[in-house]
Structure 1
Amino acid sequence: MINCIIVDDEPLAAALLEKHISRIDHLKLAGKAEHAMEAYQLLQTKSVDLMFLDIQMPHLTGIEFLKSLTRKPPTIFTTAYRDFAIEGFELEAVDYLLKPVTFERFFKSVERVLRHRTDSREDFIIIKTEGMSRKVLIQEIVYFESHGNDIKIVLISNETLISKRTITDMESVLSGKGFVRIHRSFMINSQFVTAFNNHEVLLGSYHIPVGRSYKSEFDAFVARVSKGSI
Protein backbone atom coordinates (compact mmCIF):
# COMPACT_ATOMS: atom_id res chain seq x y z
CA MET A 1 0.00 0.00 0.00
CA ILE A 2 1.31 3.44 -0.97
CA ASN A 3 0.28 6.28 1.34
CA CYS A 4 -0.06 9.46 -0.67
CA ILE A 5 -1.01 13.09 -0.10
CA ILE A 6 -2.43 15.74 -2.40
CA VAL A 7 -1.07 19.28 -2.18
CA ASP A 8 -3.21 21.59 -4.31
CA ASP A 9 -5.09 24.82 -3.64
CA GLU A 10 -7.62 24.15 -6.42
CA PRO A 11 -10.57 22.13 -4.99
CA LEU A 12 -11.66 20.72 -8.35
CA ALA A 13 -8.14 19.59 -9.27
CA ALA A 14 -7.67 18.01 -5.83
CA ALA A 15 -11.04 16.28 -6.07
CA LEU A 16 -10.10 14.80 -9.45
CA LEU A 17 -6.83 13.44 -8.08
CA GLU A 18 -8.67 11.98 -5.08
CA LYS A 19 -11.07 10.23 -7.45
CA HIS A 20 -8.17 8.79 -9.45
CA ILE A 21 -6.49 7.58 -6.24
CA SER A 22 -9.66 5.80 -5.12
CA ARG A 23 -9.63 3.73 -8.34
CA ILE A 24 -6.21 2.17 -7.64
CA ASP A 25 -6.09 -0.51 -4.93
CA HIS A 26 -2.43 0.10 -4.05
CA LEU A 27 -3.00 3.78 -3.25
CA LYS A 28 -4.31 5.17 0.02
CA LEU A 29 -4.99 8.88 0.52
CA ALA A 30 -3.29 9.90 3.77
CA GLY A 31 -4.25 13.58 3.63
CA LYS A 32 -4.78 16.76 1.60
CA ALA A 33 -3.25 20.22 1.89
CA GLU A 34 -4.01 23.53 0.18
CA HIS A 35 -0.58 25.10 0.63
CA ALA A 36 3.02 24.35 1.60
CA MET A 37 2.67 24.83 5.36
CA GLU A 38 -0.25 22.41 5.56
CA ALA A 39 1.74 19.96 3.44
CA TYR A 40 4.73 20.30 5.75
CA GLN A 41 2.54 19.41 8.75
CA LEU A 42 1.26 16.33 6.94
CA LEU A 43 4.80 15.19 6.19
CA GLN A 44 5.67 15.56 9.88
CA THR A 45 2.70 13.57 11.12
CA LYS A 46 1.99 11.01 8.38
CA SER A 47 3.93 8.25 6.71
CA VAL A 48 4.00 9.51 3.12
CA ASP A 49 5.20 7.35 0.23
CA LEU A 50 4.07 9.61 -2.61
CA MET A 51 3.15 13.29 -2.94
CA PHE A 52 1.02 14.83 -5.69
CA LEU A 53 2.23 18.42 -5.66
CA ASP A 54 0.75 21.42 -7.48
CA ILE A 55 3.28 24.03 -8.60
CA GLN A 56 1.33 27.29 -8.59
CA MET A 57 0.27 27.75 -4.95
CA PRO A 58 0.06 30.72 -2.55
CA HIS A 59 3.09 31.69 -0.40
CA LEU A 60 5.45 29.00 -1.78
CA THR A 61 5.35 27.30 -5.16
CA GLY A 62 5.48 23.54 -5.25
CA ILE A 63 9.03 23.68 -6.59
CA GLU A 64 10.15 26.04 -3.80
CA PHE A 65 8.48 23.79 -1.24
CA LEU A 66 10.12 20.62 -2.53
CA LYS A 67 13.52 22.35 -2.61
CA SER A 68 13.07 23.30 1.06
CA LEU A 69 12.58 19.72 2.24
CA THR A 70 15.52 17.82 3.67
CA ARG A 71 13.79 14.49 3.12
CA LYS A 72 11.85 14.57 -0.12
CA PRO A 73 9.14 11.94 -0.67
CA PRO A 74 8.72 10.64 -4.22
CA THR A 75 6.80 13.45 -5.91
CA ILE A 76 4.56 13.79 -8.94
CA PHE A 77 4.06 17.41 -9.98
CA THR A 78 0.62 18.50 -11.19
CA THR A 79 0.21 21.82 -12.99
CA ALA A 80 -1.61 23.65 -15.76
CA TYR A 81 1.68 25.02 -17.10
CA ARG A 82 4.39 23.30 -19.13
CA ASP A 83 7.04 25.89 -18.27
CA PHE A 84 8.18 24.20 -15.06
CA ALA A 85 8.81 20.72 -16.47
CA ILE A 86 12.60 21.00 -16.70
CA GLU A 87 12.97 22.39 -13.19
CA GLY A 88 10.62 19.72 -11.89
CA PHE A 89 12.72 16.91 -13.33
CA GLU A 90 15.90 18.52 -12.01
CA LEU A 91 14.40 17.92 -8.56
CA GLU A 92 14.12 14.24 -9.54
CA ALA A 93 10.34 14.28 -9.60
CA VAL A 94 8.77 10.95 -10.53
CA ASP A 95 6.62 12.62 -13.17
CA TYR A 96 5.05 15.86 -14.35
CA LEU A 97 1.29 15.80 -15.04
CA LEU A 98 -0.58 18.52 -16.91
CA LYS A 99 -4.04 19.49 -15.71
CA PRO A 100 -6.69 18.38 -16.17
CA VAL A 101 -5.11 15.03 -15.35
CA THR A 102 -6.74 12.12 -17.17
CA PHE A 103 -6.95 8.78 -15.40
CA GLU A 104 -4.95 7.10 -18.17
CA ARG A 105 -2.04 9.50 -17.71
CA PHE A 106 -2.38 9.32 -13.92
CA PHE A 107 -2.25 5.53 -13.98
CA LYS A 108 0.91 5.50 -16.12
CA SER A 109 2.59 7.80 -13.62
CA VAL A 110 1.58 5.69 -10.62
CA GLU A 111 2.65 2.53 -12.43
CA ARG A 112 6.14 4.01 -12.62
CA VAL A 113 6.14 4.40 -8.83
CA LEU A 114 4.88 0.83 -8.32
CA ARG A 115 7.51 -0.55 -10.67
CA HIS A 116 10.26 1.33 -8.85
CA ARG A 117 9.07 -0.02 -5.48
CA THR A 118 9.02 -3.56 -6.86
CA ASP A 119 12.52 -3.20 -8.29
CA SER A 120 13.72 -1.88 -4.91
CA ARG A 121 12.10 -4.61 -2.86
CA GLU A 122 15.23 -6.74 -2.58
CA ASP A 123 16.05 -6.76 1.14
CA PHE A 124 19.49 -7.66 2.41
CA ILE A 125 22.02 -7.28 5.22
CA ILE A 126 25.77 -6.82 5.02
CA ILE A 127 27.78 -9.44 6.90
CA LYS A 128 31.52 -9.35 7.47
CA THR A 129 32.83 -12.87 6.99
CA GLU A 130 36.25 -14.27 6.09
CA GLY A 131 37.70 -10.79 5.79
CA MET A 132 35.05 -9.63 3.31
CA SER A 133 31.82 -7.64 3.54
CA ARG A 134 29.15 -9.80 1.99
CA LYS A 135 25.61 -8.95 0.85
CA VAL A 136 23.17 -11.59 2.11
CA LEU A 137 19.55 -11.62 0.95
CA ILE A 138 17.21 -11.82 3.93
CA GLN A 139 14.87 -14.24 2.19
CA GLU A 140 17.75 -16.71 1.85
CA ILE A 141 18.54 -16.87 5.59
CA VAL A 142 17.07 -19.99 7.28
CA TYR A 143 18.30 -19.34 10.83
CA PHE A 144 20.95 -17.77 13.05
CA GLU A 145 22.86 -19.62 15.78
CA SER A 146 25.26 -18.36 18.42
CA HIS A 147 28.65 -19.86 17.70
CA GLY A 148 31.10 -19.06 20.50
CA ASN A 149 31.79 -15.32 20.27
CA ASP A 150 30.42 -15.25 16.72
CA ILE A 151 27.16 -15.95 14.95
CA LYS A 152 26.48 -18.73 12.45
CA ILE A 153 24.17 -17.94 9.55
CA VAL A 154 22.63 -20.88 7.70
CA LEU A 155 21.35 -20.15 4.18
CA ILE A 156 18.76 -21.93 2.08
CA SER A 157 21.62 -23.21 -0.09
CA ASN A 158 22.98 -25.03 3.02
CA GLU A 159 25.95 -22.68 3.00
CA THR A 160 27.09 -21.54 6.46
CA LEU A 161 28.59 -18.13 7.20
CA ILE A 162 30.42 -17.12 10.38
CA SER A 163 30.42 -13.47 11.43
CA LYS A 164 31.33 -11.42 14.49
CA ARG A 165 27.75 -10.35 15.22
CA THR A 166 25.37 -11.35 17.98
CA ILE A 167 21.85 -12.74 17.75
CA THR A 168 20.62 -9.81 19.83
CA ASP A 169 22.16 -7.46 17.28
CA MET A 170 20.53 -9.29 14.37
CA GLU A 171 17.21 -9.46 16.23
CA SER A 172 17.19 -5.66 16.32
CA VAL A 173 18.23 -5.29 12.67
CA LEU A 174 15.61 -7.78 11.42
CA SER A 175 12.70 -6.67 13.60
CA GLY A 176 9.42 -7.00 11.72
CA LYS A 177 10.91 -9.08 8.89
CA GLY A 178 9.57 -12.51 9.89
CA PHE A 179 12.39 -13.66 12.18
CA VAL A 180 11.55 -15.20 15.59
CA ARG A 181 13.90 -15.65 18.55
CA ILE A 182 12.88 -19.02 20.04
CA HIS A 183 16.02 -19.82 22.03
CA ARG A 184 18.95 -18.01 23.62
CA SER A 185 21.11 -19.36 20.82
CA PHE A 186 18.70 -19.49 17.88
CA MET A 187 16.65 -17.10 15.76
CA ILE A 188 14.66 -18.57 12.87
CA ASN A 189 13.14 -17.30 9.64
CA SER A 190 9.45 -18.17 10.10
CA GLN A 191 8.96 -18.57 6.34
CA PHE A 192 10.95 -21.82 6.42
CA VAL A 193 9.02 -23.50 9.26
CA THR A 194 7.65 -26.89 8.19
CA ALA A 195 6.56 -28.32 11.57
CA PHE A 196 6.74 -27.60 15.31
CA ASN A 197 5.75 -28.75 18.79
CA ASN A 198 6.33 -27.36 22.28
CA HIS A 199 9.97 -28.40 22.26
CA GLU A 200 11.32 -27.81 18.77
CA VAL A 201 10.74 -26.23 15.38
CA LEU A 202 11.59 -27.90 12.09
CA LEU A 203 12.99 -25.86 9.23
CA GLY A 204 13.10 -28.57 6.59
CA SER A 205 15.80 -30.95 7.86
CA TYR A 206 16.96 -28.56 10.61
CA HIS A 207 15.70 -29.21 14.18
CA ILE A 208 15.79 -26.04 16.31
CA PRO A 209 15.09 -26.27 20.06
CA VAL A 210 12.58 -24.00 21.81
CA GLY A 211 14.06 -22.36 24.92
CA ARG A 212 11.98 -22.12 28.10
CA SER A 213 12.74 -18.44 28.58
CA TYR A 214 11.48 -17.74 25.04
CA LYS A 215 8.10 -19.43 25.55
CA SER A 216 6.14 -16.16 25.12
CA GLU A 217 7.86 -15.42 21.80
CA PHE A 218 7.16 -18.98 20.69
CA ASP A 219 3.50 -18.79 21.73
CA ALA A 220 3.11 -15.54 19.75
CA PHE A 221 4.67 -17.28 16.76
CA VAL A 222 2.24 -20.22 17.08
CA ALA A 223 -0.69 -17.80 17.27
CA ARG A 224 0.43 -16.12 14.04
CA VAL A 225 0.84 -19.51 12.34
CA SER A 226 -2.70 -20.47 13.41
CA LYS A 227 -4.03 -17.31 11.75
CA GLY A 228 -1.93 -17.89 8.64
CA SER A 229 -0.03 -14.63 9.16
CA ILE A 230 3.63 -15.61 9.48
Structure 2
Amino acid sequence: MINCIIIDDEPLAVKLLENHISKIDSLKLVATAKNAIEAYQILQTKPVDLMFLDIEMPNLNGIEFLKSLHQKPKTIFTTAYREFAIEGFELEAVDYILKPITFERFFKSVERVLRNISYNEQVEDFIIVKSNGLNRKIILSDLLYFESQGNDVKIILENEEKIVTKNKITDLENSLADKGFVRIHRSFLINSKYVTAFNNNEIILNKYNLPVGRSHKKEFEDFVAKFSASRLL
Protein backbone atom coordinates (compact mmCIF):
# COMPACT_ATOMS: atom_id res chain seq x y z
CA MET A 1 0.00 0.00 0.00
CA ILE A 2 1.37 3.40 -1.04
CA ASN A 3 0.34 6.28 1.23
CA CYS A 4 -0.44 9.41 -0.79
CA ILE A 5 -1.03 13.08 -0.13
CA ILE A 6 -2.54 15.66 -2.49
CA ILE A 7 -1.15 19.19 -2.13
CA ASP A 8 -3.19 21.62 -4.20
CA ASP A 9 -5.14 24.82 -3.57
CA GLU A 10 -7.71 24.10 -6.29
CA PRO A 11 -10.72 22.13 -4.91
CA LEU A 12 -11.69 20.75 -8.33
CA ALA A 13 -8.17 19.49 -8.99
CA VAL A 14 -8.11 17.82 -5.56
CA LYS A 15 -11.47 16.18 -6.22
CA LEU A 16 -10.29 14.80 -9.56
CA LEU A 17 -7.11 13.33 -8.05
CA GLU A 18 -9.09 11.84 -5.16
CA ASN A 19 -11.29 10.08 -7.72
CA HIS A 20 -8.27 8.77 -9.67
CA ILE A 21 -6.57 7.50 -6.51
CA SER A 22 -9.73 5.67 -5.40
CA LYS A 23 -9.59 3.54 -8.55
CA ILE A 24 -6.17 2.01 -7.74
CA ASP A 25 -6.17 -0.50 -4.89
CA SER A 26 -2.50 -0.07 -4.04
CA LEU A 27 -2.89 3.68 -3.41
CA LYS A 28 -4.21 5.03 -0.10
CA LEU A 29 -5.00 8.74 0.27
CA VAL A 30 -3.95 9.71 3.82
CA ALA A 31 -4.41 13.51 3.58
CA THR A 32 -4.93 16.57 1.43
CA ALA A 33 -3.41 20.01 1.94
CA LYS A 34 -4.18 23.42 0.45
CA ASN A 35 -0.66 24.82 0.81
CA ALA A 36 2.94 23.92 1.62
CA ILE A 37 2.74 24.88 5.31
CA GLU A 38 -0.26 22.63 5.88
CA ALA A 39 1.46 19.85 3.92
CA TYR A 40 4.64 20.15 5.99
CA GLN A 41 2.67 19.72 9.21
CA ILE A 42 1.00 16.60 7.83
CA LEU A 43 4.33 15.10 6.78
CA GLN A 44 5.54 15.39 10.37
CA THR A 45 2.70 13.22 11.67
CA LYS A 46 1.72 10.82 8.89
CA PRO A 47 3.72 8.37 6.77
CA VAL A 48 3.67 9.52 3.14
CA ASP A 49 5.22 7.59 0.25
CA LEU A 50 3.92 9.65 -2.68
CA MET A 51 3.01 13.33 -3.09
CA PHE A 52 0.81 14.74 -5.84
CA LEU A 53 2.20 18.25 -5.64
CA ASP A 54 0.83 21.35 -7.37
CA ILE A 55 3.44 23.93 -8.32
CA GLU A 56 1.53 27.22 -8.36
CA MET A 57 0.48 27.74 -4.73
CA PRO A 58 0.45 30.84 -2.49
CA ASN A 59 3.46 31.80 -0.31
CA LEU A 60 5.63 28.77 -1.15
CA ASN A 61 5.29 27.03 -4.51
CA GLY A 62 5.60 23.29 -5.01
CA ILE A 63 9.19 23.35 -6.27
CA GLU A 64 10.36 25.51 -3.36
CA PHE A 65 8.50 23.23 -0.95
CA LEU A 66 10.11 20.08 -2.31
CA LYS A 67 13.56 21.70 -2.15
CA SER A 68 12.96 22.52 1.52
CA LEU A 69 12.28 18.92 2.56
CA HIS A 70 15.09 16.88 4.09
CA GLN A 71 13.25 13.59 3.57
CA LYS A 72 11.56 13.73 0.17
CA PRO A 73 8.69 11.34 -0.63
CA LYS A 74 8.35 10.28 -4.25
CA THR A 75 6.74 13.22 -6.02
CA ILE A 76 4.49 13.68 -9.04
CA PHE A 77 4.13 17.34 -9.96
CA THR A 78 0.69 18.46 -11.11
CA THR A 79 0.41 21.84 -12.83
CA ALA A 80 -1.20 23.82 -15.62
CA TYR A 81 2.15 25.25 -16.71
CA ARG A 82 4.84 23.61 -18.83
CA GLU A 83 7.68 25.96 -17.96
CA PHE A 84 8.52 24.25 -14.65
CA ALA A 85 9.08 20.83 -16.18
CA ILE A 86 12.89 20.93 -16.38
CA GLU A 87 13.30 22.14 -12.81
CA GLY A 88 10.82 19.53 -11.65
CA PHE A 89 12.82 16.69 -13.16
CA GLU A 90 16.07 18.13 -11.78
CA LEU A 91 14.53 17.51 -8.35
CA GLU A 92 14.15 13.84 -9.36
CA ALA A 93 10.37 13.98 -9.49
CA VAL A 94 8.75 10.76 -10.70
CA ASP A 95 6.68 12.67 -13.25
CA TYR A 96 5.27 16.03 -14.29
CA ILE A 97 1.60 15.99 -15.28
CA LEU A 98 -0.24 18.82 -16.97
CA LYS A 99 -3.76 19.68 -15.87
CA PRO A 100 -6.49 18.72 -16.56
CA ILE A 101 -5.30 15.24 -15.61
CA THR A 102 -6.93 12.30 -17.35
CA PHE A 103 -7.04 8.93 -15.61
CA GLU A 104 -4.99 7.41 -18.43
CA ARG A 105 -2.18 9.93 -17.86
CA PHE A 106 -2.51 9.58 -14.09
CA PHE A 107 -2.23 5.79 -14.25
CA LYS A 108 0.81 5.95 -16.50
CA SER A 109 2.55 8.14 -13.94
CA VAL A 110 1.58 6.01 -10.95
CA GLU A 111 2.70 2.87 -12.78
CA ARG A 112 6.25 4.26 -12.73
CA VAL A 113 6.08 4.41 -8.95
CA LEU A 114 4.68 0.88 -8.68
CA ARG A 115 7.35 -0.47 -11.03
CA ASN A 116 10.12 1.23 -9.05
CA ILE A 117 8.84 -0.17 -5.74
CA SER A 118 8.55 -3.64 -7.25
CA TYR A 119 12.18 -3.44 -8.40
CA ASN A 120 13.38 -2.31 -4.98
CA GLU A 121 11.56 -5.19 -3.30
CA GLN A 122 13.49 -7.62 -5.50
CA VAL A 123 16.85 -6.33 -4.27
CA GLU A 124 18.25 -8.94 -1.90
CA ASP A 125 18.77 -8.08 1.76
CA PHE A 126 22.38 -7.91 2.89
CA ILE A 127 24.57 -6.90 5.80
CA ILE A 128 27.95 -5.18 5.86
CA VAL A 129 30.58 -6.52 8.28
CA LYS A 130 34.21 -5.59 8.80
CA SER A 131 36.72 -8.42 8.41
CA ASN A 132 40.50 -8.22 7.96
CA GLY A 133 40.33 -4.48 7.38
CA LEU A 134 37.67 -4.77 4.67
CA ASN A 135 33.97 -3.99 4.68
CA ARG A 136 32.32 -7.18 3.41
CA LYS A 137 28.86 -7.25 1.85
CA ILE A 138 27.07 -10.51 2.67
CA ILE A 139 23.76 -11.48 1.04
CA LEU A 140 21.51 -12.85 3.78
CA SER A 141 20.17 -15.64 1.59
CA ASP A 142 23.76 -16.96 1.25
CA LEU A 143 24.31 -17.07 5.02
CA LEU A 144 23.92 -20.34 6.96
CA TYR A 145 24.60 -19.27 10.53
CA PHE A 146 26.56 -17.09 12.94
CA GLU A 147 28.75 -18.56 15.66
CA SER A 148 29.86 -16.48 18.64
CA GLN A 149 33.54 -16.94 19.55
CA GLY A 150 34.48 -14.69 22.46
CA ASN A 151 34.62 -11.10 21.14
CA ASP A 152 34.27 -12.31 17.54
CA VAL A 153 31.50 -13.77 15.43
CA LYS A 154 32.22 -16.37 12.77
CA ILE A 155 29.93 -16.25 9.74
CA ILE A 156 29.43 -19.47 7.78
CA LEU A 157 28.15 -19.14 4.22
CA GLU A 158 26.40 -21.70 2.03
CA ASN A 159 29.53 -22.10 -0.09
CA GLU A 160 31.41 -23.02 3.15
CA GLU A 161 33.36 -19.75 3.21
CA LYS A 162 33.97 -18.55 6.78
CA ILE A 163 34.28 -14.88 7.72
CA VAL A 164 35.32 -13.62 11.17
CA THR A 165 34.18 -10.19 12.35
CA LYS A 166 34.18 -8.17 15.57
CA ASN A 167 30.53 -8.20 16.58
CA LYS A 168 28.02 -9.28 19.20
CA ILE A 169 25.68 -12.12 18.32
CA THR A 170 22.91 -10.45 20.37
CA ASP A 171 23.11 -7.34 18.17
CA LEU A 172 22.87 -9.52 15.06
CA GLU A 173 19.91 -11.38 16.55
CA ASN A 174 18.04 -8.12 17.18
CA SER A 175 18.68 -6.72 13.71
CA LEU A 176 17.81 -9.96 11.87
CA ALA A 177 14.81 -11.13 13.89
CA ASP A 178 12.36 -10.38 11.07
CA LYS A 179 14.62 -11.86 8.36
CA GLY A 180 14.13 -15.55 9.21
CA PHE A 181 17.08 -15.86 11.62
CA VAL A 182 16.54 -17.80 14.88
CA ARG A 183 18.72 -17.89 18.02
CA ILE A 184 19.01 -21.56 19.07
CA HIS A 185 21.96 -21.34 21.44
CA ARG A 186 24.02 -18.66 23.19
CA SER A 187 26.63 -19.26 20.48
CA PHE A 188 24.46 -19.87 17.40
CA LEU A 189 22.11 -17.75 15.30
CA ILE A 190 20.81 -19.67 12.28
CA ASN A 191 19.14 -18.93 8.96
CA SER A 192 15.92 -20.98 9.18
CA LYS A 193 15.83 -21.19 5.39
CA TYR A 194 18.53 -23.88 5.52
CA VAL A 195 17.05 -26.13 8.22
CA THR A 196 16.86 -29.67 6.84
CA ALA A 197 16.16 -31.63 10.05
CA PHE A 198 15.79 -31.12 13.80
CA ASN A 199 14.90 -32.75 17.11
CA ASN A 200 14.72 -31.48 20.68
CA ASN A 201 18.48 -31.18 21.01
CA GLU A 202 19.89 -30.22 17.62
CA ILE A 203 19.24 -28.63 14.26
CA ILE A 204 20.83 -29.64 10.97
CA LEU A 205 21.62 -26.98 8.39
CA ASN A 206 22.91 -28.60 5.24
CA LYS A 207 25.77 -30.72 6.62
CA TYR A 208 26.18 -28.84 9.93
CA ASN A 209 24.77 -30.21 13.20
CA LEU A 210 24.20 -27.43 15.75
CA PRO A 211 23.09 -27.82 19.39
CA VAL A 212 19.92 -26.30 20.82
CA GLY A 213 20.78 -24.45 24.04
CA ARG A 214 18.70 -24.90 27.19
CA SER A 215 18.22 -21.13 27.60
CA HIS A 216 16.94 -20.84 24.03
CA LYS A 217 14.38 -23.67 24.11
CA LYS A 218 11.50 -21.18 23.88
CA GLU A 219 12.82 -19.58 20.65
CA PHE A 220 13.46 -23.06 19.28
CA GLU A 221 9.97 -24.33 20.19
CA ASP A 222 8.36 -21.25 18.60
CA PHE A 223 10.37 -21.90 15.46
CA VAL A 224 9.40 -25.58 15.37
CA ALA A 225 5.70 -24.74 15.85
CA LYS A 226 5.79 -22.21 13.03
CA PHE A 227 7.88 -24.46 10.80
CA SER A 228 5.60 -27.47 11.37
CA ALA A 229 2.32 -25.55 11.00
CA SER A 230 3.29 -24.11 7.63
CA ARG A 231 4.92 -27.24 6.16
CA LEU A 232 3.37 -30.34 7.77
CA LEU A 233 1.96 -32.72 5.15
TM-score (ref. length: structure 1): 0.85
Q: Superposed, which structure 2 residues align to 1:79-228 within 5 Å?
A: 79-120=79-120, 121-225=123-227, 228=230
Amino acid of the structure 2 residue aligned with 1:63? I
Mapped partners of 2:185, 2:221: distance in 1 = 13
1:52 has 2:52 as partner = yes
- Report the CA distance between 1:67 and its aligned residue: 1.4
Give how far 1:115 is off: 3.0
**2 CA distance for matches of 1:58 and 1:199?**
69
Task: Tell me the residue number matched to 1:67.
Answer: 67
Q: In the alignment, residue 147 of structure 2 is paired with which amino acid?
A: E
Relative to 1, partners in 2 of residues 1:98 and 1:200: Cα closer, same or farther, differing over 3 Å? farther
Distance 1:211 1:30 in 2: 47
Distance 2:101 2:34 in 1: 18
Closer/same/farther in 2, CA of residues 12 and 198 from structure 1, 3 Å limit: farther
Unpaired segments ≥5 residues, structure 1: none
Distance 1:56 1:40 in 2: 16
In 1, Cα distance between the equivalents of 2:19 and 2:209?
52
Change (3 A) 1:143 1:20: farther
Query: Residues of 1 paired with 2:31 and 2:219: CA distance?
Result: 36
Distance 1:108 1:126, change over 3 A: same
Q: For 1:213, what is the secondary structure of its paired residue? A: helix
1:222 deviation in Å? 4.1
Give 1:77 deviation, angstroms: 0.8
* Compared CA separation, residues 113 and 183, structure 1 to 2 (3 A): same
- Change in Cα spacing, 1:181 to 1:18, as seen in structure 2 (3 Å) is farther
Residue 45 of structure 1 aligns with an amino acid whose one-letter code is T
The residue identity in structure 1 corresponding to 2:42 is L
CA distance in 2, matches of 1:36, 1:66: 9
Q: Mark the runs of 5 or more structure 2 residues left unpaired by the alignment.
A: none
Q: What TM-score, normalized by structure 2, do the two folds share?
A: 0.84
- Deviation track 1:49-69 (CA, whole Å, cap 9, x = no partner) reads 221111122332111211111
Percent of residue pairs bearing the same amino acid type: 66
Cα distance, 1:167 vs. partner?
1.0
C-alpha deviation, 1:228, in angstroms: 4.2
Greater radius of gyration (CA): 2
> For this pair of structures, how many residues does the alignment match?
229
Shift of 1:96: 0.8
1:197 Cα deviation from its structure 2 partner: 4.0
Counterparts of 1:196 and 1:71, CA distance in 2: 46
State how far apart, in whole Å, the 1-side matches of 2:59 and 2:222 are.
Answer: 51
Greater Cα offset, 66-75 or 183-192: 183-192
Q: CA deviation at 1:194?
A: 3.8
CA–CA separation in structure 2 for the residues paired with 1:215 and 1:182: 7
What's the CA shift string for 1:7-52, capped at 9, x where partnerless?
Answer: 2223332233233333334333332222222221221122222211
Q: Distance in 1 between matches of 2:177 and 2:73?
A: 24
- Once the two structures are TM-superposed, the CA of residue 151 in structure 1 deviates from its matched residue by 0.9
Q: Find the aligned partners of 1:192 and 1:10 in 2 and give their Cα distance.
A: 56
Counterparts of 1:142 and 1:107, CA distance in 2: 43
Question: Which secondary structure does the structure 2 equivalent of 1:115 belong to?
Answer: helix
C-alpha distance 59-224 of structure 1, shift in aligned 2 (>3 A): farther
